Chains A and B, each alone.
Chain A
Amino acid sequence: MNIVVCCKAVPGLVTDLKIGTDGKAIQYHGQLLAINECDEYALEEALALKRSAGGQITAISMGNIKALDILYYALAKGADKAVRVDCESQDPRVSSTVITAALRKLDFDLVLTGTQSRDTLGGQVGIAAANLLGIPFAYAVVDVEARENHTVKVRKELGGGRYAEVELMLPALLCVQTGIQPLTFVPPARRIRARQQPVASFSLADLGLRSEQLTPRGYRFVDVRAPERAHQVELLHGSPQEIAAALLTKIQESL
């Protein structure tokens, strides 16, 4: 079974957020990019499926040259190939159009990705791409079983402790939940070696996309700032013992 894993390179701490001049994107200073956590779980699930059903794993990420880091990381973890799509977009509609065009150039039975990225918290691109590709999809998947007849059986969360068992014909796209497989450690030597491997690159011209498909439309960011609080939190200060005494009083008053 050939699997493509869509992984996003996301920043850690970000500072100096401001709205871009077109009003369509947020600009910021960010530290190094890391693989988005739920996408890393998708990669682990792909590796587990490869162990049981064979096939090749291709890791794909959309972003500038800095996204290469997470693709090397995916290769070090055990992906066979890596592809970077040279496009920076925060708009889910544009991103899903681009990733769909890239997926059309790859050979796959299954596309795996996470449920959402920690930067934009949108959770849209996977399912939207599945819809554009016309393939079946499932969100919040916690278990995948490859079957003989070119299908997968998955367990997906419905919330509140309920699940659905769903059978999907391949090719299909799954957004997997964190915790689907344990995260594995990558020895530094493998990470260094992975940097020698080639990473293919698709430009937007390679994908045959027109500029109007790449233009966000219909909205503008008004502002971005620290959230308003539902109610002001009362912060306690002092020594641990003083804080503990104050907390205990509050707890006793509430019972």
Chain B
Amino acid sequence: MARDILVLVEQSEGKIESMTSQLLAIGRQLAAEMKVELVAAAIGHRMENVVETLQGSGIDRILVVDDPALALAAGEVQAHVFAEVARLIEPRLVLVGYSLIGMELTPAIASKLGMNAFTNCVNLELRDGAITVTRPLFDGTMHAHIAMEETATAVVALQKGSAPATAPSAKKAVVQSITMDVKSIPSRSRVLEITEEPKGDVDLGKAEIIVAVGRGIGDKEKMHFTAELAEALGGTLACSRPVVDVGWLPRERQVGASGKSVAPKVYVACGISGAIQHLTGMRDSKLIIAINKDPNAPIFQVAHIGVVGDLFEIVPALTKAAQEAQTRLKPV
């Protein structure tokens, strides 16, 4: 019978994604409560570093598929390999990171294994004895709790920030190497190369103050409001995805899952509703100020200070206050 918890490790070039550490933390706690084993599956090429890093995470077993054909494998092949590994242990739960890579693999793996998948989850816990996930609905304005039936199995894709990283464990995981003929897995796609966004002039990662603008600005002609605020505060202008999609700011200024992850001292979100993909990239900021006319906007779930109101009134007023404060500070 399906029992154990299997964590799919996301790594690139031997480096484990921070998301995976969170999955291991959640998996470890749940495995302890359910009195089952925590198993990690790592696939790729030259996996020594990955296995070494995984040790100390409280894992019972590490299943490794190390094959040159996995160095640059297409989604089809990765999903096939992960599903085969899962079949070996018939897990109760398969935990995946809700990343762009995780979202390509999760439905394919679940479909191959005939399991339900719960994606985009913000929490996974035992509640009244039932494995229960929390996941957003309707643009994140609502959260649903979904309880799994007693013997049901599932793939659960968890959002970043769903759990703190683990304290080290003295437990030594058993490493099990699995041989698979990866080259002969049927595949009709191939990865040609991995590329990086060319470095622009803006380094959002170094900014102490970020003023970020979202779809709520509504009009390219009004973008100057937030640009002026950024300047008055001595901060850097950034944005959420929709602003880049319509071409009002370049990609290098985008904060979120597909753009930059930032954690400045101050993050001022103007007219940003707070799609999960955006929150992922900024929720660790020290002080989050949200200005939005919709009191139900998900941005208020992570904001420390909120203003429910018209950004075209608040932003210029804040710009003026910051400019006046600057003038006062200047020596006469």
Residue ranges of A at the interface with B (Cβ–Cβ < 8 Å): 11, 14, 17, 26, 92-93, 96, 115-116, 118-128, 130-132, 135-140, 153, 155-169, 172, 177-179, 182-183, 217-231, 233-236, 240-241, 243-245, 247-248, 250-252, 254-255
Whether A121 pairs with B135 at a CB distance below 8 angstroms is yes
Within 8 A of A (CB), among B264-309: 265-266, 268, 276, 283, 286-287, 289-290, 296, 298, 300-309
Whether A126 pairs with B233 at a CB distance below 8 angstroms is no
Whether A140 pairs with B241 at a CB distance below 8 angstroms is no
CB distance from B250 to the nearest CB of A (A): 12
- Bound-state Cα–Cα, A247 to B321, Å: 9
- Bound-state Cα–Cα, A143 to B146, Å: 36
Residues of A within 8 A of B296 (CB): 226
Whether B208 pairs with A132 at a CB distance below 8 angstroms is no
Task: In the A-B complex, list the 10 residue pairs whose CB atoms are closest, starting with the nearest.
Answer: A179-B245, A218-B152, A161-B197, A139-B104, A136-B189, A244-B317, A127-B107, A240-B317, A128-B107, A222-B145
Residue ranges of B at the interface with A (Cβ–Cβ < 8 Å): 12, 74-76, 79, 99-101, 103-104, 106-108, 110-112, 116-120, 122, 127, 132, 135-149, 152-154, 187-197, 208-209, 233, 241-242, 244-247, 257-261, 265-266, 268, 276, 283, 286-287, 289-290, 296, 298, 300-309, 313-314, 316-318, 320-322, 325
CB-contact partner of A219 in B116, B136, B241, under 8 A? B116
CB distance from A13 to the nearest CB of B (A): 9
Which of A131, A140, A153, A169: most chain B CB closer than 10 A? A131
- Bound-state Cα–Cα, A115 to B119, Å: 12
Whether B142 pairs with A159 at a CB distance below 8 angstroms is no
- Bound-state Cα–Cα, A179 to B248, Å: 12
CB-contact partner of B111 in A119, A128, A255, under 8 A? A128
Given known pairs A119-B138, A234-B306, the reply for A250 and B259 (CB within 8 Å) is no
CB-contact partner of B75 in A138, A227, A228, A255, under 8 A? A138
Whether B266 pairs with A167 at a CB distance below 8 angstroms is no
Whether A248 pairs with B318 at a CB distance below 8 angstroms is yes
Residues of B within 8 A of A252 (CB): 325
Given known pairs A119-B138, A226-B296, A236-B307, the reply for A172 and B110 (CB within 8 Å) is no
Residues of A within 8 A of B136 (CB): 121, 227
- Bound-state Cα–Cα, A140 to B120, Å: 15
Whether A119 pairs with B146 at a CB distance below 8 angstroms is no
CB distance from A206 to the nearest CB of B (A): 23
Residues of A within 8 A of B245 (CB): 178-179
Whether A138 pairs with B189 at a CB distance below 8 angstroms is yes
Whether B142 pairs with A137 at a CB distance below 8 angstroms is no
CB-contact partner of A157 in B100, B187, B247, B300, under 8 A? B100
Whether A139 pairs with B301 at a CB distance below 8 angstroms is no
CB-contact partner of A166 in B74, B145, B258, B305, under 8 A? B74
Whether A159 pairs with B306 at a CB distance below 8 angstroms is no
Residues of A within 8 A of B152 (CB): 217-219
Whether A161 pairs with B192 at a CB distance below 8 angstroms is no
Chain B residues touching A, majority SS: mixed
CB distance from B58 to the nearest CB of A (A): 25
Residues of B within 8 A of A160 (CB): 258-261
- Using CB atoms, name the residue of chain B closest to A23: B147
CB-contact partner of B120 in A17, A122, A164, A254, under 8 A? A122
CB distance from B234 to the nearest CB of A (A): 9
Whether A118 pairs with B138 at a CB distance below 8 angstroms is yes
Whether B307 pairs with A247 at a CB distance below 8 angstroms is yes
Cross-chain pairs A/B with CB under 8 angstroms, 22 sampled: A14-B138, A121-B135, A124-B107, A128-B108, A155-B195, A160-B258, A164-B191, A164-B192, A166-B74, A178-B242, A179-B244, A219-B146, A219-B152, A220-B147, A221-B145, A222-B127, A231-B304, A236-B306, A245-B321, A248-B325, A251-B287, A254-B287
CB-contact partner of A123 in B119, B127, B154, B304, under 8 A? B119
Residues of A within 8 A of B233 (CB): 251
- Bound-state Cα–Cα, A159 to B218, Å: 26
CB distance from B67 to the nearest CB of A (A): 18
- Using CB atoms, name the residue of chain A closest to B279: A230
- Bound-state Cα–Cα, A223 to B147, Å: 10
Whether A138 pairs with B107 at a CB distance below 8 angstroms is no
Whether A137 pairs with B104 at a CB distance below 8 angstroms is yes
- Bound-state Cα–Cα, A166 to B101, Å: 13
- Bound-state Cα–Cα, A17 to B142, Å: 9
Residues of B within 8 A of A183 (CB): 246
- Bound-state Cα–Cα, A128 to B193, Å: 25
Whether B193 pairs with A227 at a CB distance below 8 angstroms is no
- Using CB atoms, name the residue of chain A closest to B186: A134
- Bound-state Cα–Cα, A218 to B152, Å: 5
Whether B266 pairs with A233 at a CB distance below 8 angstroms is no
Residues of A within 8 A of B313 (CB): 240
Which of B74, B137, B144, B290: most chain A CB closer than 10 A? B137
- Using CB atoms, name the residue of chain A closest to B300: A233
Residues of A within 8 A of B137 (CB): 26, 119-121, 224
- Bound-state Cα–Cα, A116 to B120, Å: 10
CB distance from B305 to the nearest CB of A (A): 5
Whether A161 pairs with B259 at a CB distance below 8 angstroms is yes
Whether A139 pairs with B75 at a CB distance below 8 angstroms is yes
Whether A166 pairs with B192 at a CB distance below 8 angstroms is yes
